[in-house]
Amino acid sequence: MGNKFVMIGGGSTQSPGILEVLRKRAEELNLSELVLYDIDEERVSLLGQYTKMYYQELGSKVAVNYTTNIDEALVDADFLFMQIRPGLNKQRAIDEKICLNNGVVGQETCGLGGFSFAMRVIPAVLEIIRKVKEICPKAWILNYTNPEAILSEAIYREFPDANVLCICDMPISIEGAIAKYFNKDLRDVTFKYFGMNHFGWWTNIIDETGTDLLPILREDVLSGKIDTLLQSNDETKEDQYWIDTYRQMISLFKRFPEYFPNCYLQYYLTPDEMIAHDDPSFTRGDYVMQGREKRIYEECRRVIANGSAKDSSLHAGVHGNYIVDIAYAIIHNTRERFTVNKKNQGSIANFDPEAVIEVPAYVGSMGAETITVGHIPTFQKGLMEMQKAYEKMTVDAALSGSYQTALEAVMLNKTISNYTVGKKVLDELHEANKEFWPKLS
């Protein structure tokens, strides 16, 4: 028998890239059945109909189905790719505006935008995993759902024995840009990295000759030879957003040149600069709704109306390739190296062993075996300790419904400077998210 893959949140606009990789690599994955599951009937119907048509017309033998019934979707599943967003990008934009109008970071995984997203998504994801444990307990769950750092704390706390890997494509995206800068194939470069999701550093970049490229990159940055790792001739706003993000990452490396930073650290170390770039009246969530969302669903409607997908195509980028590469490693026990989120358990010697961290690991049929990092410096450890306390207390708040715990979590977030602002933003987010958050009291 072949493998059954289920897309949890199959109506997401992040799905198409993964769907294309699955189609191209179906044979090596022994993929026989693909199910798109979502609670949003319209979205999953659009992407489900499109995918069925697209696969069939390109000669795929994979049986494609879509449903809003999770029990039906999970029966006999082998792999679950999970990327859900309670409240959709509409709620994301609301959170971003509340934060920015109060002068604090509004990004959806950092600051209180991340806190609000976590409060919406933790109960939903934990309920899905309970269903998985009941219906298909041997299935592997590969989680792309944000905010990954906080969510992985909740998942591994509540389901320590579940077959779950929490992953993010941001590290490999940055690594790909670094490899390209040095004219190297990504697979010929070994990256040493530690931290938490969206909160980490690269300590070494070793090429196929054993040379550490990090000192060279550092010199190129400090000398002004390079100001962004991302170059493109595409002048779209989407492209410019990431060019600016990578430029700010280089600026951060100049200021803290010991290790190369994950781009999201800029929200914590230079929040004033990040806020200055944002428009409270038209946030990132608004941009996604009017850009990628509109484009993808309109294309689905066009293809369905025409009754053919022959003049349509999907793009298989890093997001799709990374999650499928990990599934392949599990299926074929390749023990290939990937960056994943797992409990520390001694990998970072001077950090909480029960805390979830993000580090490279060797992935095979038994899951992920993290590498040993050793001791980390005081500066990075201090930042991580505070951030980890915030993440753990956010999980506590979501599971307990305690307003006091939520407030204490908020005050641990480095983007919040004082009690008055923290409480005001928390209260406004709470009011705006009553439909989605656990009831706080």
**Residue 200 DSSP SS3:** strand
3-state secondary structure (DSSP) of residue 26:
helix
DSSP for residue 187: G
Residues in the chain, total:
441
Q: Which amino acid is at 250?
A: I
Give the catalytic positions in this structure.
Answer: 169, 264
For residue 199, the cross-strand partners are: 196
The distance from CA 24 to its chain's CA centroid, rounded to whole angstroms, is 23
Give dist(CA 396, CA 404) in Å, integer: 11
Nearest in space to 212 (alpha carbons), one of 229, 196, 189: 189
Amino acid letter, residue 378: T
CA distance 358 to 376: 14
Environment class of residue 185 by beta-carbon count within 10 Å: exposed (0-12), middle (13-18) or buried (19+)?
exposed
Cα-Cα-Cα-Cα torsion 421, 265, 166, 54, nearest 10 degrees, comes to: 100
Q: CA 367, CA 330: separation in Å to the nearest integer?
A: 7
Classified as helix, coil or strand, 63 is: strand
Question: What residue type is 263 in one-letter code?
Answer: C
Query: 328-352 burial string, b = 16+ CB within 10 Å, else e?
Result: bbbbeeeeebbbbbbbbeebbeebe
Quote the DSSP letter at residue 430: H
Both tokens assigned to 98:
């509340």
